[in-house]
Amino acid sequence: MFAPGAGRPLAAVGAVLVVVGALVAGGFVPDRAVSGAVVAGVGALWVFFAIFFRDPDRAPGGGVVSAADGRVRGVEREGDRWRISVFMNVTDVHVNRLPWDARVESVAEAGSGYRPAYRPDADHNVQRAYRFATSLGTVEVVQMTGVLARRLVSFVRSGSEGRKGDRFGMIVLGSRVDVLLPAARATPTVRVGDRVRAGTTTIARENP
């Protein structure tokens, strides 16, 4: 299964691959080494996009689940909220999922620049913040750009409702997703360095 929006780039690269293959088969590229390299290069690009846009079905995990695939880069208390930050590599699944049953209150743009997502000053990068109304109170999820990841995609808008694990957006080519939880209602269960999967890995438990 592929993420929404994957059809266009996959079809475009596939069409190029067909054209290049036809040119090679027709003898229009006589140098075998060159023709082989071109076909292999275009084929590898199609495989890369197919892997990048993969979107496997997943059953939601327990507790508050991760919004992104990747590695936990930060678990920090900020006043009355916990911030759990996940860094996404280019090889991770890039579809983001709801950490809890929620209704979208707002989707807002902020920030400027495209610093490496692992740096502290990346907090000021171009980003998209989703404010969710949940049974835990207000939960915020922030999609953040990086050096290569400059396209933020939303599948929801204000007023949308969803269940834990539902898809709400994606980031093209990696970067970072932060989940901010009310400290009075939830306690983190992950540590820096842990690997997590969107929609399935528990990152926090609801306080009794």
Strand order in the sheet with 167-172: 95-97, 167-172, 151-154
CA distance linking residue 169 with residue 148, whole number of Å: 18
Q: Which of 54, 142, 145 is nearest to 94 (CA)?
A: 54
CA distance linking residue 1 with residue 23, whole number of Å: 31
Cβ atoms within 10 Å of 129's Cβ, excluding its own: 17
Q: Which of 137, 127, 50, 138 is nearest to 96 (CA)?
A: 127
Q: Which of 172, 143, 144, 175 is nearest to 156 (CA)?
A: 143
- Secondary structure class of 60 (helix, strand, coil): coil
Give catalytic residues, as residue numbers.
175
